[in-house]
Structure 1
């Protein structure tokens, strides 16, 4: 687990070496064990490759990067882990490839040389890497299927730069950054972020998950990012439910087994929910002897507390627990550091609970943790996507089954039958009615605290981006949405939080649910294997974990996760928050007085509390940092 930086500058670009060193310093937390960068001449310009290393596999200097092929043609900088590197190395050895280290970086480099792009689908791991081919004079940039590892870039004719984190990328640029108003609006009004290639800074982008792009050093032109994995919502499996249960069980245990490969101490983040509990119990199942350390946030004295479930899992596997509580005052203390680490605004204070989990892991001497992230997006978790499931049934002509599903789904805690049908209506209503319905619920596209006319004149679209529907998704609308959430709004933001929070404390966060074999297995199943006719979410996975995870955990009907008592925290520190919000006066498109007025009304209880407060605070603090 590391950080990578670099790029290409045509002509006699001044100060590249200094800017590269500054970018690496900004990412020291990603790789405190080693650092390296090199500048090479190429096509009337300079190619730079830099790397900071957190040593996890092969702790020797043989894993230093940039790493070169034996003939000097290829150079690589790589951030991530390839968990099946041993199997790939043995296969490559049979073809005559010789290895000089035990690192997964060398395996990745040799796999690319031997198989090219075809190697990507064979990698089980998380990765973002750049390969410089000196003969072909290209830089090839690749990101893993789910975007677990970050990749930021910017390009203009004759100048290309990339980095693992946005602050590091900005250090490579000669000019002061400009804030992207469209992404700012999307975040502040619709809580939409990390859902597309554009970032909060103009002219800087994410390489999308499961994409690659090639820079031609001779012409200086950058090709459009192209997908190397193209999942489809079409059902691909004919397995019975019993067969699927066995296949899911086998694949998940194999994933966990591979994710336990490490030359440093490891543990697990444990919220007490089904996903993290399954990870911890599977760790014990595949390795009955090794010590397990778990790290849990406890919402002490709150109905959100999952301490009861955490304690049961720790007792079940014989883990060493590390639990902590947090307060609003501590959030205030750490807020600027957390915002600086995240690099861009983010969604809620639950990210602070995660931040503290990784801090606790670092303090306890743990360098690698396993996490349940991605399970909801592969197994139709959360509330079970009721509107989409109803649409699938209706498109398949199963009207009676749809009526029965809505009734049974509503019998679970926190659900109402009318909510299922409201979700469906939200999906199918035209744009104009959707906007009217939002406004009637107090979610205007042009809230009073926004200078809407200024944004419109600047070309900002003051509407919420809605999911489109594919023709090949008919009758498979849940799967279609899951595929979208893997790449757009949903999983990308969760993976960003985890990557930046873990790397802040030089901890590698692994996500064993997110492998290509697991995704292709689950997304190819019938929808009712994921969401049962009785409204049970993650149905096939719950069945697969019987005998590994305690039944009373698998039978849980609620979902909390690392939820925080956000309202209580923010109310308790409201004077400090109000002082911070005074800086909104510096943001051109905000109505400073109206924003403070709205905040005061929420704090006084005259308006409902919402996550809007957090977004105001988060954005204002971030804006000050980049200006």
Structure 2
């Protein structure tokens, strides 16, 4: 896990490009504290930069940017390739030679052997740039699940890329994306491909951007993962695939642990990891003095079955107060989540871990959210005349008023009915713009044509995976973990596991009991107390903490929007959820 950056620009001196890329890497140094490196090609006006967090091959031979094939191929890479040993064995049999033990060198050899088809063979989480000096092409590549971020900007025959949006401000004068606040207030995050900066976009998951150094033209195309054979019973297949995924995700030359919340997903990961590493397993949990938010008793049931070392931490309001400003600094992009992830990774760092396994992805893949049972309601509500749906914006109830989003012809409206924050009428009043502007902007968001073929719970899974998880959970997890120099690995999003899951018939995959098929697959491993209880999300007592503190309640921060000030007073009266107040605070105080 690392941080990468680069610029291709023939109109600037190589010295200036070096200064810019160095500044980009320096501002992301928290995500790569172990090493740094740079590569240049004066003829192409190209500079790559790299900040390294060492997990595989801790020796100097793993240094990046790394060159291969008589220095004709060069890569700067962020991520982990979990099947690199299998690929390396195949490449060795084909006559390739290696000087390091790193997965980085395997990517380069794989590209030399298979060309861009090599990207389809990679199992892992990754974002990288490969410069092919023979073909005079640079490729930007991002993993199929979008676990690792990669941002880019193209203007005036110039390509800039980086792992974080904040890095772009070190490479030029980027203006504010005037629409980011609208997106943020609607979603609670900024949906891909947009960012807070105009012209800076997210490379789509599972995509390759190819830059031709001769013509300065580019193209962005998807690549497809090689599907695994579906020759196992669903439950036993899930168990086998996840066990293999966990084993692969534990591969490292540095300390790897597991985050245990006490829910089904993290408990499965913890118990599987225990089967792999036994007494060497290090797990960690967070709890609170507020009993309603503590899952300690469930965590203890799981750790009683493991043979490693468990680390328990209690987060208090005083800790939150002390670190609030630092948490905001860690946010590369505005978010209504991520505070919990900041603390998890803080304690992982203090425990001495460089990587932690997480249970992200199971809810999205197997129907763990309430949204999966609300798709039938959406279908019925959309039978109503559009004017009635629009009138729902005037219903006082904060959740029911979201029905107005179903008046949109864009399926994005369905997602916002399920998970939206502010409705268009309120967004317009907060920002002082016309409601029609808000409606037009949100309805124009792109969605793939394949979504039309998905119904019911499969449709909900697409929403949760491609919008909520990718834009909220994974993005927050990345910048909060890398702020502490910790890598979070997500076995449920292993490409082989996802591929197997996607081919299970919907009637089996999405059962009446949330994540029922996952429970069946691991019923012998999981204690009944873990799977036979109501779902409890990993949340902090933030309603109480924000109300008791002064982080977001100073009315001077909201003078630019009378309606925001009105909503703040409603929050102080306990009538608005903390996440909405936190969103208002961010749009009122964040530069962009």
TM-score > 0.5 by shorter chain: yes
Q: Is the Cα–Cα contact under 8 Å of residues 180 and 199 in structure 1 kept in the other structure?
A: yes
User: Does the CA contact (< 8 Å) of 2:2 and 2:31 recur in 1?
Assistant: yes
Q: Map 1:335-484 onto structure 2 (within 5 A).
A: 335-348=324-337, 351-383=338-370, 385-388=372-375, 390=376, 421=377, 423-426=378-381, 432-440=387-395, 441-442=397-398, 443=401, 444-447=423-426, 450=429, 454=433, 461=440, 463=442, 474=453, 476-484=455-463
Alignment partner of 1:228 out of 218, 223, 231: 223
* Residue 20 to residue 432, structure 1, CA distance change in 2 (3 Å): farther
Aligned counterpart in structure 1 of residue 484 of structure 2, from 484, 505, 508: 505
Q: After alignment, is 514-523 or 247-256 more displaced?
A: 514-523
Find the counterpart in structure 1 of residue 545 from structure 2.
Answer: 569
- Change over 3 Å in CA distance of 1:179–1:469 after alignment to 2: closer
Q: Secondary structure at the match of 1:358?
A: helix
Bigger Cα displacement from structure 2, 610-619 vs 135-144: 610-619
Q: 163-172 vs 379-388, which deviates more?
A: 379-388
CA distance in 1, matches of 2:436, 2:215: 36
Which residue pairs with 1:398 in the alignment?
A: none
- The CA deviation string for residues 505-531 of structure 1, in whole angstroms up to 9 with x for no partner, is 111111011122111211221122122
1:41-71: per-residue Cα shift (whole Å, max 9, x none)? 234xx10101011111111100111111132
- Give the Å deviation of 1:198: 1.0
- What does 1:484-523 align with in structure 2 at a 5 Å threshold? 484-523=463-502
Tell me which moved more, 85-94 or 479-488. 479-488
Number of the residue aligned with 1:183: 180
Which piece of structure 1 moves more, 156-165 or 289-298?
A: 289-298
What is the TM-score normalised by the length of structure 2? 0.89
Name the SS of the counterpart of 1:385 in structure 2: helix
- Contact 2:430/2:564 (<8 A) preserved: no
Tell me how large the CA RMSD over aligned residues is.
Answer: 2.7
Task: Say yes or no: does 1:297 pair with 2:280.
Answer: no
1:600 maps to 569
Determine if contact 2:41/2:47 at 8 Å carries over to the other structure.
yes
1 CA distance for matches of 2:317 and 2:3?
Answer: 31
**CA contact 1:231–1:483 (8 Å) conserved in 2:** no
Is 1:195 the equivalent of 2:191? yes
**620 and 292 in structure 1: CA distance in 2 versus 1, 3 angstrom threshold:** farther
Residue 414 (structure 2) aligns with: none
Deviation at 1:192, TM superposition (A): 4.3
Question: 1:473 deviation in Å?
Answer: 5.6
User: Which residue is 1:583 aligned to?
Assistant: 557
Contact in 2 for aligned 1:183/1:193 (Cα 8 Å): no
CA offset digits 1:401-451 (Å, max 9, x no partner): xxxxxxxxxxxxxxxxxxxx3x44356656544433244244541228836
Rounded Cα–Cα distance in structure 2 between residues aligned with 1:466 and 1:8: 29
The CA distance in 2 between the partners of 1:530 and 1:210, in whole Å, is 24
Q: Please list the CA deviations of residues 201-224 of structure 1 after superposition, one character each: whole Å capped at 9, or x if unmatched.
A: 11111111111111111122222x
The verdict on how the C-alpha distance between 1:536 and 1:129 changes in structure 2, with shifts beyond 3 A counting, is: same
1:49-448 aligned at under 5 Å gives the runs 49-173=48-172, 175=173, 177-188=174-185, 190-223=186-219, 225-229=220-224, 243-287=233-277, 289-348=278-337, 351-383=338-370, 385-388=372-375, 390=376, 421=377, 423-426=378-381, 432-440=387-395, 441-442=397-398, 443=401, 444-447=423-426
Cα 1:113–1:191 change in 2 (3 A) is same
Q: Distance in 2 between matches of 1:387 and 1:335?
A: 35
Instruction: Name the CA distance, whole Å, in 1 between partners of 2:481 and 2:387.
Output: 42
CA deviation after TM superposition for structure 1 residue 123, in Å? 1.4
Contact 1:476/1:527, CA 8 A, preserved across alignment:
no
- Residue of structure 2 in register with 1:404 after alignment: none
- In the alignment, the residues of structure 2 paired with residue 431 and residue 67 of structure 1 have an alpha-carbon distance, to the nearest angstrom, of 57
Give the match for residue 514 of structure 2: 537
Counterpart of 1:2 in structure 2 is 2
Distance 1:47 1:307, change over 3 A: same
1:231 is displaced (CA, Å) by: 11
* Alignment partners' CA distance in 2, 1:596 and 1:618: 13
In structure 2, C-alpha distance between the alignment counterparts of 1:550 and 1:530, rounded to whole Å: 22
For 1:427 and 1:368, locate their aligned partners in 2 and report how far apart those are by CA, in whole Å: 45
Q: Which residue of 2 aligns with 1:396?
A: none
Alpha carbons of structure 1 residues 473 and 529: separation in structure 2 relative to 1, 3 Å: farther
Whole-angstrom distance in 2 between the partners of 1:429 and 1:332: 47
Bigger shift: residues 467-476 or 356-365: 467-476
Q: Which residue of 1 aligns with 2:523?
A: 546
Q: Say if 2:7 and 2:17, in contact at 8 Å, map to a contact too.
A: no
How does the TM-score come out when normalised to structure 1? 0.84
* Kept after mapping to 2: 8 A contact 1:154/1:160: yes
Secondary structure, in 3 states, of the residue corresponding to 1:317?
coil
| Cα distance, 1:96 vs structure 2 | 0.4
Query: 1:456 offset after TM fit, Å?
Result: 6.7
Q: CA 1:22–1:452 in 2, change beyond 3 Å: closer, same or farther?
A: closer
Q: Structure 1 residue 128: deviation in Å?
A: 0.2
Deviates more, 1:15-24 or 1:244-253: 15-24
Contact 1:439–1:445 (CA under 8 A) maintained in structure 2 = no
- Higher mean C-alpha deviation, range 543-552 or range 140-149: 543-552
